[in-house]
Amino acid sequence: MTSIFRSRYAVGIGFLVAAVLLFAVAPAVLTTFRLGLLGKYLCYAMVAVGIGLAWGRGGMLTLGQGVFFGIGAYLMAMHLKLADAGPGAVPDFMALISSEGVPWWWEPFRSGTVTIIAILVLPTLLAVLLGQATFRRKVRGAYFAILSQALAAAFAILLIGNPVATGGSTGLNNFKGFFGFSLRDPANRQMLYFIAAAALLVMVLVARQLMVSRFGELLVACRDGEERVRFLGYDPATVKTVAFAVAAMMAGVGGALFVPIVGIISPNDVGVVPSIGLLIGVAIGGRTTLAGPVLGAIAVAWAETSLSEQFPSGWTYVQGLMFMLVVAFLPGGLASLVKWRRTAKADPPPPPAAEKDLTPEPAGGAQA
Amino acid sequence: MNTDYLELTGLTVSFDGFVAVDGVNLSVLKGDLRFLIGPNGAGKTTLIDAVSGLVQATGRAEFAGKDLLGLKVHRIARLGVGRTFQTATVFEELTVLQNLDIAAGAGRSPWTLLRKRSGVPAAVEEAMETVGLTALADTQAGILAHGQKQWLEIGMLLVQDARLLMLDEPVAGMSAEEKDETGRLLQRICADRTVVVVEHDMDFMRSFAKSVTVLHAGKVLSEGSVAEVQADPKVQEVYLGPGHHTAEEAAIVLGEGA
Amino acid sequence: MDILVTQVFNGLSGGSILLLAALGLALTFGQMGVINMAHGEFMMAGAYTAYVCQQLLGSAGVSLLVSLPIAFLIGGLLGVVLEATLLRRMYHRPLDTLLVTWGVSLILQQLARDLFGTAGVDVAAPAWLSGPVEILGFAFPRSRLFILVLAIVAVVAVTLVLKLTPLGRRIRATVQNRQLAESAGISTRRTDMLTFFIGSGLAGIAGVALTLMGSISSNLGTSYIVDAFLVVIIGGIGQIKGAVIAAFVLGVAQSWIEYSTSASIAKVIVFALVVAFLQFRPQGIFQVRTRSLV
């Protein structure tokens, strides 16, 4: 971990390289279609940055990021549908299955400003509520993971059960414009990609600041010794809620950008399975690192696209194997291999961490 | 600052009907170095747990004029109450410096928290000096030796600016030299603080305690100076079993002062 | 009145299915802190066992009874293999077991799709379980009563094993204090394996029971696993009686809320109720009090 804190230059250079790749190289070498795919991967990467923060640094295994991703996505999709329909009109899919008109809670999202504020606020607010309700009562670990999973399940069922308001299991799709720009125009699609790339880079910067700050150290302390932190006068519930809320906000923005880039959002993108699927990239890249989750998420999303094109059912086996092998045998992800090699070359080997286990437990300390 | 003392009145802790601490009255003044001793199951650790908010208790536990019972753990900590645990509990993935910096920072503003630490805070520097870990500032706490972890914990209490320190078996597993150093450290820091130590190590107790309270079956059995407690027949009975004991027998168990 | 009886019965019936699904989880989660996401797929394996048995034997009445012990064995073996190959090295990382077993569950589901197809298959219920039985003027489906009885038998059997057998004593000792149990000479390795065998075997039995409720497919497990885990959480870790109460309460609540609102909003309400419940009882209905720090 210290190597990340120390290598100021490495981070700066890495960031610059990423910016050049995203803003100059990728648009030059990729077709509009492939660039759109990359934009989609970047949206997943935004969720991954947040998961790295909440899970890797904060120890909160959140299996419900699809909910926050979905809220952001559906809010954006609602606005795009309303904007496509025009002022006061009813979106096409709604007019097809119902004569009731637009539900009252859709109406505010005719406004782009309201929508953007809601995308930033609602996922964060839900995370704060859930975080306070659980962390304050010391509901954590597996309990928290399962609750977050139950939330994802309930969210997907809620979406499917209300086809008039949410498009049901088909979801919302067939968007024509994005804040006045036509989505058919390749130039506008490229602009969307640039927005996603910029948003991702901003999120990485935010995550880095949070990780290297005192807050980041405190978050790790809460992960490893929540009770101990309490005895030092902090309320770990607050610390964890902040990290969880930031992760939720990132997921929400990722979802909101996913919609115009991919052109569809449905319960299949936000339920239990996709929510957990978001974790594998983070695990492969290295959950506690800054770049690991981003690179892992992009790599996994890319692999999924390319593999499912050729072997539709094969991808599930690959994904399952990755979860099994990476988490069981390489919990630090690929980043731990890189770090290990680096330490092996540059620094003298650290004192064995296992030493503490070998120290004979003193007779007095065994009394409990 | 004369109100800086710990006053327990009728403190009682029960677990599902089992009374672990039974109506304990206890006052510890600032500057004191009070040892809590007693056989296993006497309620020593539970007493500390109750004062620090880990377990629920009835009665009163006042520090600096405030009743601590019913407050949340972190609120009690912010009132200047700090404690350590039987097994040293430090943040193993963080460095010594980071451990101490966190302990020093409960009152920090959100703005300070969101920035990177620049330099070493004076209190942290001083605490590292006091517990002798300055050279290991950037070492991960997980690879410290057992005794060093205990010291780091004490250092964390110091930077936390705890005015009431409660230590649970601070010298368990330490070598003789480490024990002496810890004892001298405790004597130094108790000058302007209230310090309570739970300990089984009778030699350590005899060398460094300013006063002693003996607990037995959740109740206060005896209280006074080391010599007074050692001379107390009730204490001898608890440690040696009922019956008459010679001074020599008592000395073997309780130390030469008996 | 009719509606009340029907809803309560539906709730108890739903609860008994949840209980069958959660009973094994309560054992493995309680004993080892392992969160076995593949438990649902072990149920699926049990359901397909019943299907295969029926294909081979023909007679619905015989195949159901035959498939119960076979499904127990298959579920148990799957569990033991999982425990021995992956989980035993991960006991100090309980959260990570969740993701590893999730991977296992993905693979088992895909395997089922490749072997049995994506469409659901039906297992015919035996004649003695078809149709309703009349009690006090109310008609109750026999198959649901059978599941209710099966769940009660399973609970009684597990309770007896825990209370009366040497294995049960070892399991309880390990649940309460693993280190102490080890130092008292209990082979926690063997105990863990046997616990996993029994817990996963129960999933197999639950799977057989589910074939009476409708057609089975590869995602049979996913629809039960989340609720089953909620039962374990509400019941309190390592508490069989907690799981029993939680399963029936959740079953009745779910059926009642579904009846008064809709299936889709019911899930959200139940989720909110669970979170609200944890505000008062963060460790479940029955909590084990300890003094330890973590």
pLDDT in tens, C214-252: 899 999 998 889 999 999 999 887 678 899 999 999 999
Residue B80 has pLDDT above 80, yes or no: yes
* CA gap A313, C25 in Å, rounded: 29
Q: Which of B34-38, B240-244, C11-15, C270-274 has the lowest mean pLDDT?
A: B240-244
The answer to whether C111 and A320 are in contact (CB under 8 A) is no
The answer to whether residue C275 is domain-embedded is: yes
| C-alpha–C-alpha distance, residues C204 and C40, integer Å | 9
Is the per-residue pLDDT at B96 higher than 60? yes
Which of helix, strand or coil describes residue B145? coil
Interface test with A, best of B111, B116, B164, B169 (most A CBs within 10 A): B116
Mean pLDDT of chain A: 89
Q: Which residues between 179 and 238 in chain A have a beta carbon less than 8 angstroms from any beta carbon of chain B?
A: 209-210, 212-215, 217-218, 220-221, 224-225, 227-235
Max CA pair span of chain B: 66
- Report yes or no: C267 at the A interface, CB cutoff 8 Å: yes
The beta strands (E) that lie in C92-245 are given as 132-135, 138-141
Terminal CA-CA length for chain C:
49
Nearest chain C residue to B46 by CA distance is: C291
The letter for the amino acid at C282 is: P
Distance of CA B53 to the CA centre of its chain: 14
Beta carbons within 10 angstroms of residue B63's beta carbon: 22
Higher pLDDT, A349 or C118: C118
- Using the structure block, give the residue that is written with the tokens 């009975």: B237
C119 in a structural domain: yes
State the total domains in chain A: 1
Gap from B43 CA to chain C (nearest CA, Å)? 12
Q: Higher-confidence residue: B224 or C181?
A: B224
C-alpha distance from C201 to closest chain B C-alpha (Å): 35
Which range (B108-112, B176-180, B208-212, C280-284) has the least confidence? C280-284
Per-residue pLDDT of chain C (294 residues; tens, 9 = 90+): 678 888 888 899 989 999 999 999 988 887 778 889 999 999 999 999 999 999 999 888 889 999 999 999 999 999 999 999 999 888 888 899 999 999 999 999 999 999 999 899 999 988 888 888 888 878 888 999 999 999 999 999 999 998 899 888 888 888 777 778 888 877 888 888 999 999 999 999 999 999 998 899 999 998 889 999 999 999 887 678 899 999 999 999 998 998 888 888 888 999 999 999 988 888 888 765 544 433
How much is the mean pLDDT over chain B?
89
pLDDT, residue B249, reads 62
* 3-class secondary-structure state, position A265: strand
Range A28-51 average pLDDT: 96
Lowest-pLDDT choice from A44-58, A306-320, C106-120: A306-320
The pLDDT score that the predictor gives to residue A70 is: 98
Tell me, which fold does domain B6-224 have in CATH? Rossmann fold (3.40.50)
Query: Is beta strand B58-63 parallel, antiparallel or unpaired with respect to B66-67?
Result: antiparallel
In contact, B214 and B223? CB cutoff 8 Å: yes
Closest CA to B205 of B246, B163, B253: B253
Return the ∠ at Cα B141 (arms to B138 and B147), rounded to 5°. Answer: 115
Q: Which residues of B touch C (CB under 8 A)?
A: 15-16, 45-46, 49, 54-55, 85, 89
Contacts of C176 in chain A (CB under 8 A): none
Q: For residue C139, list its beta bridge partners.
A: C134
- Best CA proximity match to B28, nearest among B69, B1, B62: B62
Which residues of A are less than 8 Å from B156 in CB distance?
Answer: 232
Q: Report pLDDT for A104.
A: 92
Kindly list the partner chains of chain A, i.e. chains with 3 or more CB atom pairs below 8 Å.
B, C
Do A327 and C103 make contact, defined as CB atoms within 8 angstroms?
Answer: yes
Q: How far apart are CA B90 and CA B70, in angstroms?
A: 26
Structural domain span for residue A162: 2-265
Q: What is the pLDDT of residue A340?
A: 61
d(CA C181, CA C172): 9
- Among A187-201, A220-234, A346-360, which is the least confidently predicted range? A346-360
Selection from C221, C226, C240 nearest residue C271 by Cα: C226
Q: Beta-strand (E) ranges in A151-260?
A: 172-173, 177-178, 181-182
Residue A88 lies in a domain: yes
A96 Cβ under 8 Å from any chain B Cβ = no
Query: For the packed helices A236-262 and A112-135, what is the interaxial angle rounded to 10 degrees?
Result: 140
For residue A278, pLDDT over 50 is answered with yes
ipTM at complex level: 0.90
- Tell me the per-residue pLDDT of C50-71, one tens digit each, with 9 for 90 and over: 999 999 998 888 899 999 999 9
Residues of chain B positioned with their CB less than 8 A from the CB of A218 = 102, 105, 113
Per cent of chain B over pLDDT 70 is: 91
By 3-state DSSP, what share of chain A in percent is helix, strand and coil, each rounded to 5? Answer: 75, 0, 20
pLDDT reported for residue A351: 38
Going by DSSP bridges, is the β-strand pair B81-83/B164-168 parallel, antiparallel, or unpaired? parallel
At residue A10 the predicted structure's pLDDT band, cuts being 50, 70 and 90, is confident
Which SS3 state, helix, strand or coil, does residue B222 take? Answer: strand
Report, as an integer, the average pLDDT of A219-223.
Answer: 95
Element (DSSP H or E) covering residue B22: strand B18-28
Q: Where are the domains of chain B?
A: 6-224
Q: What is the pLDDT of residue C174?
A: 80
Residue A4: pLDDT band with limits 50, 70, 90: very low
Residue A300 in any domain: the answer is: no
Can you tell me the distance from the alpha carbon of B98 to that of B105, in angstroms, rounded to the nearest whole number? 11
Give me the pLDDT at residue A37, please.
Answer: 96
Cβ contacts of residue C15 below 8 Å, gap of 6+? C247, C248, C249, C250, C251, C252
Domain of C207: which CATH number? 1.10.3470
In terms of C-beta density within 10 A (0-12 exposed, 13-18 middle, 19 or more buried), how is residue A24 classed? exposed
Q: What per-residue confidence (pLDDT) applies to C39?
A: 96
* C-alpha span between B13 and B47 (Å, rounded): 8
Question: What torsion do the CA atoms of C31, C36, C40, C41 make, to the nearest 10 degrees?
Answer: -120
- Stated pTM of the model: 0.91
Q: Which residue has the tokens 């024990």?
A: B179
Contact check, Cβ <8 Å, C278/A143: yes
Q: Chain A contact for C184, CB < 8 A?
A: no
Q: Note whether B80 and B107 are within 8 A (CB).
A: no
> Which of B48, B137, B35, B41 has its CA nearest to residue B84?
B48
pLDDT score for A189: 94
Is-contact C139 C5, C-beta < 8 A? Answer: no
Domain range enclosing C214: 2-280
Instruction: Say if C247 falls within a structural domain.
Output: yes
A119 vs C175, more confident: A119
The answer to whether C246 and C14 have CB atoms below 8 angstroms apart is: no
State the Cα–Cα distance between residues C216 and C123, nearest whole angstrom.
Answer: 8
Q: Please judge whether B89 and C293 are an interchain contact, meaning their C-beta atoms are less than 8 angstroms apart.
A: yes
Handedness of CA C119, A265, A56, A285 (dihedral sign): positive
Tell me the two tokens of residue A359: 């120290």
**C55 located within any domain:** yes
Q: For chain C, what is the domain count?
A: 1
Q: Is the pLDDT of residue B257 over 90?
A: no
Write down the pLDDT at residue A359: 32
Give, for B33, the enclosing helix (H) or strand (E): strand B33-37
The SS3 assignment for C7 reads helix
Return the pLDDT at C179: 79
Torsion of CA B206, B210, B211, B212, to 10 degrees: -30
User: For B166, which DSSP code?
Assistant: E
**Among A154, A200, A168, CA closest to A43:** A200
C277, two tokens: 């419940």
pLDDT at A277 over 90: yes
Buried b (16+ CB within 10 A) or exposed e, A53-73: bbbbbbbbbbbbbbbbbbbbb
Strands (E) located in A114-252: 172-173, 177-178, 181-182
3-state secondary structure of A52: helix
Taking each helix axis from N to C end, the angle separating A334-346 and A272-285, rounded to the nearest 10 degrees, works out to: 10
